[in-house]
Amino acid sequence: MELHWIDHIIFGIFGLLFPINSMFSTQPKLAEIEEWEPDMKQMLYISNSISLLVMALIVLAAWYFTDRTWPDIGLQMPVFKEWIWPLIFFIIFNLLYVLDAWLELRSKKARLKAHAHWKKHTPFLPENMKEMIQFIPLAFSAGINEEIVFRGFFINYFLMLFVGHEYQYALALAIPSILFAIVHYYQGWKAVLKIGILSIFFGLLYITTQSLLIPIILHVLIDLIGGVISWKYLSKEVK
């Protein structure tokens, strides 16, 4: 594959302008909201779901009209030519995720700290069953559409941009991971670091399996589990 001029435009908008606008405009405005009413959360879930879907559709349309194949962007079943590496990445990822969840919730002191952090940085997460049901479409939209954009498109963009470079794959993994982490800056710097690491694992899974399927499944599950945890710990007094 070769770079097309439209690839640069898409990266400029979704890879640079959107993260910058998110950090310096959208996220500060959200932080100013002192109390999130249920209808406000619902509108945020809907608007974000639609925005992510539109981004992915634009990427896929550009991909299609530049005569590229769907497998080239990861829309195929996983290929396990070297099955041991995807398995290793999958196991390490899950161990890290479980360890992180345990560390955040292992004691009352840790739970109080996590509760305060969530209330400050992600007060719009679900706090009851109704909000959780409304949150589910967003979890799927983020898991599917963000993987198409940040893994499927951005990794391929940088693989083509740095073709022949000694650190081609390292750069193609690192830059989208940094951008993806920055987009989640509203969750705090600790979350940015964790999300950046998880994003690298997603990228490794994508590259080794040549498919977005496993990263999408993991991404959706993480968002759903995060919603359930917030529902459990934000809706009542920490014990």
Question: Is residue 184 over pLDDT 90?
Answer: no
Parent domain of 55: 5-234
Residue 216 lies in a domain: yes
Residue 154's contacts (CB-CB under 8 Å, 6 or more residues apart) are 11, 15, 175, 176, 179
pLDDT band at 41 (very low <50, low <70, confident <90, very high): very high
Angle at 30 between CA 25 and CA 35, to 5 degrees: 160
Question: Is residue 22 over pLDDT 90?
Answer: no
Residue 227 lies in a domain: yes
Question: Is residue 54 over pLDDT 80?
Answer: yes
Question: Is residue 118 over pLDDT 80?
Answer: no
Check: CB of residue 143 under 8 Å from CB of residue 216. Answer: yes
Tell me what pLDDT residue 132 has. Answer: 95
Residue 113 lies in a domain: yes
Render pLDDT for 133-145 as a digit per residue (tens, 0 to 9).
999 999 999 999 9
Domain count, the chain: 1
User: Is the model more confident about 25 or about 4?
Assistant: 4
Question: Is residue 12 over pLDDT 80?
Answer: yes
Sign of CA dihedral 125, 130, 134, 136: positive
Tell me what pLDDT residue 35 has. Answer: 83
Residue 174 lies in a domain: yes
Residue 239 lies in a domain: no
Residue 222 lies in a domain: yes
Helix residue ranges, H only, 32-167? 38-65, 84-105, 108-121, 129-141, 154-161
Residue 108 lies in a domain: yes
* φ/ψ of residue 139, rounded to 5: -60, -45
Tell me what pLDDT residue 239 has. Answer: 53
Question: Is residue 175 over pLDDT 60?
Answer: yes
Residue 99 lies in a domain: yes
Tokens encoding 9: 């435009």
Q: Which of 159, 156, 124 is nearest to 31 (CA)?
A: 124
